[in-house]
Amino acid sequence: MHLPKLVVNDVSKVFKPIKGEPVVALDRVNFSVEEGEFVSIVGPSGCGKSTLLYIIAGFIPPTSGEVLIDGKPVKEPGPDRGIVFQEYALFPWRTVEGNIRYGLEEKGLSKEEIKNIVKKYVQMMRLEGFEHKYPKELSGGMKQRVALARTLAYDPDILLMDEPFGALDAQTREIMQEELLNIWRKTRKTIIFVTHSVEEAVYLSQRVIVMTHRPGRIKSIIDVNIDKSQSRIDILASPDFIKTRNLVWSQVREEVLKYYGAGSGSLL
Amino acid sequence: MVRVAGVFYSFIKSFYKSFPVFIVFGFWELITLLNLVSTALLPRFSSVIIKIIELLYSGILLQNISVSLYRAFSGLAIGILAGVILGFSMATKRHIERFFYPIITITFPLPKVALAPLIIVWLGVTDQAAIFIVFLGTLLPIIVNTYYGVLSVDKRLLWSALSLGTPPNNLFRKVIVPASLPYILNGIKIALPTAFIVIISAEFVASRAGVGYLISGYGALGLYDYMFAVILIFIILCFIVDRIVAILSKRLLKWHGG
């Protein structure tokens, strides 16, 4: 029997504030992800896409439904799922090297092994010369490379990324996208990537999940049939890319319009 | 050669930076020299310096300073220990927070020196009484800073650690303690001058030794040049201790800040 890597099974999440009405953040979300697949989740702000990612990560429990990884329900954060946040979440008291080796220390690897793995990811992420710097001394792009290195060095099966490039400037963002795509080509990790950039989602992933504005439901799942081994320029220029991007964008646009349209019809 | 030049440069620089202090001393000497202020009220700066040398030579100053420092640092040390433990417990244990939060809120504005007479009645004119008063005075800033430090730990750091294989029981040691260290050290920086203020005040109230005892004793006898000598030395001492703590915390927190 075929078993998907990850199954999100009828997941709902309701936040009950101390005052006021409960908020339905996620409403019966269902999808599955195959091993080695790169899937993006896009949607307007407040559609619950980060919440969904945190439930998959095991940081917060769903109100109902469940997440299965290799057929086993998720109960808590686990070493099979690595996380990368928009705000990096590096340990500020540890150097670049100290951050990358954190998970390796927790794994109980030998000093020699740790040294080799750290070296590999320092090279891969082009962090040579910055090993002994503290996060506060780094630029945003560099911090995110450290965060990525820290997660990759730990070697989780699934990479969960919460708008990882959202805080970066446009140029750095493009470079990071290329690097991530390269890493995926090389490692074939299963990646779930949350973003509000349609272009980014289509460029990076094989499937794009579009979510509705509150309550967050799956609006559509769009396959991206583009050869991702091509260069960035070729991908962006291909008719398939443009077609798919427009399709995803029209889906997202409907949701954004619903949100803004409530107040003023002339905004867009 | 470069090293020597560097030391010389930093010496010149610190002299330059502390120049306003020397202006104040010069002004002090000048107004007393010109008899603009009676030396019965304000002794001459130069005679204060002579008294400092005299007191240092006789050993009276060092002996009393060491008594006060012993009391201040003992009280501070107990305050830090208890404050950090209580602050951590409050931030992580709901029922402990519920119990202590209102007590701390109510007692926070109270100057703890106000309790000195009562504590002296309980414990007598002893070192223990003085240490206890310092402990009370330094406890709350440590608790409050530790408490808010732990509460302000970014949950994404905890989540990251969990995803990188840290068992939940180790989060405290691996993430919460280092992440809240800047706040704890800040609490200590606030508590340190408080300890000095409290110990001097407590010694004013009742004591048989210490800097506060010397100051109030010389004051009562009208020996203002001796009194000023003690005050001046104590100011310098507080300044040095404050610098040491600042340098230590800067070294400990070289990862911190923008």
**Chain B residues near residue A58 by CB distance under 8 angstroms:** 162
* Residue A120, domain member (yes or no): yes
Average pLDDT for residues A71-89, to the nearest whole number?
91
Query: A243-262, pLDDT tens digit by residue?
Result: 999 998 988 888 888 777 65
CB contact under 8 A, A151 and B163: yes
pLDDT value at residue A261: 62
**Phi, psi angle pair for A212, to nearest 5°:** -85, 160
Query: How far is the alpha carbon of A154 from chain B, nearest alpha carbon, in Å?
Result: 7
Angle at A95 between CA A94 and CA A97, to 5 degrees: 115
Residue type, B6: G
Shared domain for A74 and A166, answered yes or no, is yes
Host domain of residue A252:
6-80+156-261
Give chain B positions within 8 Å (CB) of A151.
163-164
Interface confidence, given as ipTM, is 0.90
Domain closes at, from A113, A128, A155: A155
Residues A66 and A117 in one domain: no
- A83 contact residues in B (CB cutoff 8 A): 159-160, 163
SS3 state at A81: strand
- SS3 for B8-63, per residue? HHHHHHHHHHCHHHHHHHHHHHHHHHCCCCCCCCCCCHHHHHHHHHHHHHHCHHHH
- Quote the CA–CA distance of A148 and A164 in Å, as a whole number: 9
Residue entry with tokens 């992440």: B179
> Per-residue confidence at A267, pLDDT binned at 50, 70, 90?
very low
How many CB atoms lie under 10 A from the CB of residue A136?
A: 13
Question: What pLDDT does residue B1 have?
Answer: 58
Residue A263 has pLDDT above 60, yes or no: no
Return the number of other C-beta atoms located less than 10 Å from residue B171's C-beta: 17
> What number of CA atoms fall less than 13 Å from residue A75's CA on the CB side?
1
Nearest-Cα distance to chain B for A107, in Å, is 7
Residue A96: inside a domain: yes
- The mean pLDDT of A69-97, rounded to a whole number, is 92
Are A122 and A249 part of one and the same domain?
Answer: no
Are A164 and A237 found together in one domain? Answer: yes
Torsion of CA B137, B96, B91, B178, to 10 degrees: 70
Residues B114-138 pLDDT 10s: 888 899 999 988 899 999 999 999 9
**Which of B154, B164, B250, B252 is most worth mutating to test chain A (most A CB atoms within 10 A of its CB)?**
B164
The reply to whether A113 falls in a domain is yes
The whole-chain average pLDDT of chain A stands at: 89
- Whether the Cβ atoms of residue A188 and residue A37 lie closer than 8 Å to each other: no
* pLDDT at A232 exceeding the cut of 80: yes
Low-confidence residues of chain B, pLDDT below 50?
Answer: none
- Tell me, yes or no, whether A169 and A235 share the same domain: yes
Domain end among A111, A126, A155: A155
Q: What is the pLDDT of residues A31-61, one digit of tens each?
A: 999 999 999 999 887 778 899 999 999 999 9
Looking at the structure, do residues A98 and A44 belong to the same domain, yes or no? no
Of all residues in chain B, the one with the smallest CA distance to A150 is B164
CATH number at residue A32: 3.40.50.300
pLDDT over 70, % of chain A: 96
Scored b (16 or more CB within 10 A) or e, A24-52 reads: bbbbebebebeeebbbbbbbbeebbbbbb
Q: Do A89 and B255 touch (CB under 8 A)?
A: no
Contact residues, chain B, for A85 at CB < 8 Å: 156, 160
- What are the strands of the beta sheet with A38-42, ordered from one edge? A81-84, A158-162, A190-194, A38-42, A207-211, A218-223
Q: pTM of the full predicted structure?
A: 0.84
Report how many domains make up chain A: 2
Residue ranges and CATH numbers for the domains of chain B are 54-252 (1.10.3720.10)
Listed residues A130, A155, A180: the one ending a domain: A155
**CB of A185 closer than 8 Å to CB of A231:** no
Q: For residue range A92-111, what is the model confidence (pLDDT) as tens digits?
A: 999 999 999 999 999 999 99
Closest residue on chain B to A103 (Cα)? B164
Residue carrying the six token digits 């140029």? A171
Chain B residues with beta carbon closer than 8 angstroms to that of A94: 255
Q: How confident is the model at residue A62 (pLDDT cuts 50, 70, 90)?
A: very high
* Beta-carbon-side half-sphere exposure of residue B105 (alpha carbons within 13 Å): 6
Please name the member of B163, B168, B178 whose beta carbon is closest to the beta carbon of A82: B163
**Residue A100 domain flag:** yes
CA distance A103 to chain B (A): 5
The pLDDT of residue B64 is 93
pLDDT (tens digit, 9 = 90+) per residue, A184-205? 998 899 999 999 899 999 999 9
Going by C-alpha positions, the residue among A48, A47, A56 that lies closest to residue A7 is A56
